[in-house]
Amino acid sequence: MDDWQRFIVRFWGVRGSYPTPGLHTLRHGGNTSCVEVQAGPHTLIFDAGSGIIRLGNELMQRNHKDVLNLALFLTHGHGDHLVGFPFFAPLFDPHTTIHLFGPRLAGRGIKQLVTAMMSPPYFPVDMRTLPSHRVFHTITDEQSIIWKKDSSDPVARQPETGQPLHNELCVKARFTQSHPLNGALVYRIEYAGRSVVYATDVEWSEGCEPDLLDFIEGADVLIHDAQYTALDYEQTKNGFGHSTVEMATETAAAAHVGELILFHHEPTYDDNQLDRMEAEAQARFARTRSAFEGLEIDL
Q: What is the DSSP string of 31-98?
A: -B-EEEEEETTEEEEE--STHHHHHHHHHHHHHTTS-EEEEEE-----GGGTTTGGG-GGGG-TTEEE
Which of 39, 38, 21 lies closest to 30 in space, CA to CA? 21
- Distance, in Å, from the CA atom of 259 to the CA atom of 67, rounded to the nearest integer, reads 34
Which helix (H) or strand (E) covers residue 249, if one does?
A: helix 245-254
Instruction: Give residue 101's pLDDT.
Output: 97
**pLDDT at site 286:** 98
Report pLDDT for 63. Answer: 80
CA-wise closest residue to 283 among 248, 239, 235: 248
Query: What's the confidence (pLDDT) of residue 5?
Result: 84
DSSP, collapsed to helix, strand or coil, labels residue 191 as strand
Cβ within 8 Å of residue 150, ≥6 positions away = none
Q: Catalogue all structural domains in the chain, each as residue range(s) with its CATH number.
A: 3-298 (3.60.15.10)
Mean pLDDT for each consecutive 10-residue tract of the chain (299 residues)?
83 98 96 97 97 97 85 97 97 96 93 94 95 94 84 77 70 94 95 97 95 97 98 96 98 98 98 98 98 98
What's the pLDDT score for residue 165? 61
**Paired sense of beta strands 259-263 and 169-176, if any:** unpaired
State residue 2's pLDDT score.
62
Question: In 10 A of CB 33, how many CB atoms?
Answer: 35
Structure confidence at residue 166 (pLDDT):
64
The CA distances from residue 211 to 215, 254, 262, 296, in Å, are 6, 12, 21, 29
pTM, rounded to two decimals: 0.96
Give the count of beta carbons closer than 10 Å to the beta carbon of residue 61: 9
Q: How far is residue 283 from each of residues 280, 286, 287, measured CA to CA in Å?
A: 5, 6, 9
**What pLDDT is stored for residue 157 in this prediction?**
75
Task: Kindly report the number of other CB atoms within 10 A of residue 155's CB atom.
Answer: 10
